[in-house]
Structures are given as C-alpha cells and as structure tokens.
Amino acid sequence: MADALPNPNFNSSAHDNIPKVSAYYHTRAAHHGVVTSDWLAQAQAAVGHDPADDITANSSSPDSRKPFSVIDESNNWRRQPDLAEAVAAIRALAAVIRSSEATTMMELEIELKRASDSLKSWDTTSISLTAGCDLFMRFVTRTSALEYEDFNSAKSRLLERAEKFGEISYKARKTIAMLSQDFIFDGCTILVHGFSRLVLEVLKLAAQNKKLFRVFCTEGRPDQTRLPLSNELAKLDVPVKLLIDSAVAYSMDEADMIFVGADGVVESGGIINMMGTYQIALVAHSMNKPVYVAAESYKFARLYPLDQKDLTPAFCPIDFGVPIPSKVEVETSARDYTPPQYLTLLFTDLGVLTPSVVSDELIQLYL
C-alpha cells in the first residue's frame, strides 16, 4: 500500500536510522516542531503533487483512489500548523464523502469505512486518530439520512453532518479554552507537563484576559517539550520556570494546579498522555492538588486499559547523549496511562466533566 506513492508516513522508519519509532512519535514531533522540519518537508513533497482539491485528485488517479487519497487529503490538512491530526482526518473523511462516486448508501458507507480504516492503519498508535475516525463514522452514519429515498439528498445530509462534525472538532479548542478560564485565578501557579496545543491555548486566553499566573514547565524528556512551550509563554509575558522532570515532587507544594493535555481519553475516564503524566498525577494526588486535563471530545476512545502495560505501545527514541552498551535495555515507551482516580476534571468541548462522565458519553455515542 505504501509503496505506490513515496508515502512518508508509516514507513518513515525506513528513512530514519532509529528502527523502533512509532508514527505516533513523528506526529508529535511534527507538532512540536522539534525534530521534524525535514520530515514535514518530505511529507509536503510527497503530497505536493496533489492539488488542494481532492476531487481532482480522485479523478486524475482513478486506479488507486481511495486509500491513498484519504491519507493524502488528511496530510493536506495536516500541513496547516494548527490543525490537530484527528481534525485533519475528519476533514479528509468529509472530503471522501464529497468526492465519492458511489450511487447507493451502502456503497458510500463501505467506501467511508475503507477510507477510515486506511487512515487508522496509517498510524495505529495514535489514539485520537482512531477515535476521531470512529466518532466521525458514528456521527455521520448514525442519522436518519439513511432513510431518505433520494440518494443525493441523503448524501448531502451526510456531508452536512460531516462538515458540522469537522467544524465542531475544529472549534473545540476555543470552547475548551473558554471553559477553563474559570479555573485559573489570579496569583496561581500552574504546572504544565507536555506540549499540548490545547493547554497552550488555555494559557494564552488566560494571559489575554489579564490573569496573573505563573507557569512551571517540565522538561518533558525525551520530546523536549519545554522548548516550544516556554518560548510561546515567554512571548505572552507569562513568567515561566523550567523544571527537570525529576523535580516535580520537589516543586509540587508551590503549584496550585496541574494542567495536562491528553493523547486519548479512555473509557474509564483516565487519560493516555506523554510519559510522566502518571507520576505527576500521583504526586499531585498525594499533595491534594487538582489535576486538570484539557482534551477535545474526539479524543474519547473506546479503550479500557487496566494497567500501564495494557496499551498499544508507542515508542520513541531516547537520546542519552552517550552511547549505551547494547546489553542495557532502554524503556522507550512514549506515553503512560493515568487512572481516573488521580484526575480531578476534564475540560472538553462537551463541558467540564468528571472522569466518570467520559464513559457515559462514550456509551451514548457508541451503543
């Protein structure tokens, strides 16, 4: 599948020297702008020949249509710096509906299914991508549209829903930033772990609202998340203090609240996030500090990890600066699972939720 086009995505390990690196890591890297400019350039080169409009892409290459064009389309969208991966996927799926040449509802649904499957298999480790695709399928197909007599009106109805969903997802970040303002009070100290654009948005809005607060920013090894985040915050004139990851407990008593993003929110209400979130949550819990999670609702996934090892692992390269003897094992997991009892609230575009509501929402969406 991947060799028909010079697809940079899933097989990017072929280009890299590090063998065990998940696409998940690349996505992160792309977002953080740390490693990746070259990767992104590659990606752009790969999809560059595609016109922006997907329809023409489809008509121009009818032989190898669906799976590729979906991914390309999603990459197209991803080139926008601010667009989350899942939203890009959602937009791409909407484009699939638009450009579909199917003549029956069933055909369209199958096509959509295939597209979303190929998107998902493109990066199996990304929770938000999988969840976003699943949710899109639910949201779009679970409608009375399927009962329309006329296929075209049904299709336009689907398209309408698809675009609405894309819009909701796109606006989610703003909604969440607004919702979380009530929780940031003057003079507070916020400890932030990982680089979440959502958290950044929240902090940005708070700064714009003339709130006075201080940010502790963890180093976030191995992704070096401190760099983009501290840069952005410094631009906003927010006082920032950098901590090494092992200094979290040391400075926890100064912090008033913890703010983290999430790669995925699972059914138990817990979150899957960058490595280190769990231990920060544990420390915060033992010191009675609230842990707030900012996550869009398209990150809600039908997963239920029982413990840390109960996840699809995502690996990342770790640079220790010195060569490591081959006999020594290195833990390369890129993320961990934080159980719901250590989280205080989730800020989502559905509102401010307690962890247990996640499952309620998921049940209503999926069942």
Query: Exposure of 160 by Cβ count < 10 A (0-12 exposed, 13-18 middle, 19+ buried)?
Result: middle
**Mind giving me the DSSP string for 79-119?**
TSTT--HHHHHHHHHHHHHHH----SHHHHHHHHHHHHHHH
CB closer to another protein out of 168 and 365? 365
CB closer to another protein out of 254 and 360? 360
Q: How far is the CB of 302 from another protein (least distance, A)?
A: 7
CB closer to another protein out of 237 and 307? 307
Question: CA-CA distance, 269 to 6, in Å (whole number)?
Answer: 39
CB closer to another protein out of 73 and 267? 267
Q: How far is the CB of 87 from another protein (least distance, A)?
A: 26
SS3 193: strand
SS3 330: coil
Q: Are 334 and 42 in contact (CB under 8 A)?
A: no
CB closer to another protein out of 320 and 366? 366
Q: Which two tokens stand for residue 63?
A: 């032989």
Cβ-Cβ contacts under 8 Å for 191 (sequence gap 6 or more)? 215, 216, 218, 243, 248, 251, 252, 255, 257, 258, 259, 280, 284
CB closer to another protein out of 309 and 327? 309
Q: Are 226 and 234 in contact (CB under 8 A)?
A: no
Residues in touch with another protein (CB under 8 A): 267-269, 302, 304, 306-307, 309-310, 340, 356, 359-360, 363-364, 366-367
Q: How far is the CB of 113 from another protein (least distance, A)?
A: 20
Q: How far is the CB of 78 from another protein (least distance, A)?
A: 31
Q: How far is the CB of 365 from another protein (least distance, A)?
A: 11
Q: How far is the CB of 156 from another protein (least distance, A)?
A: 30
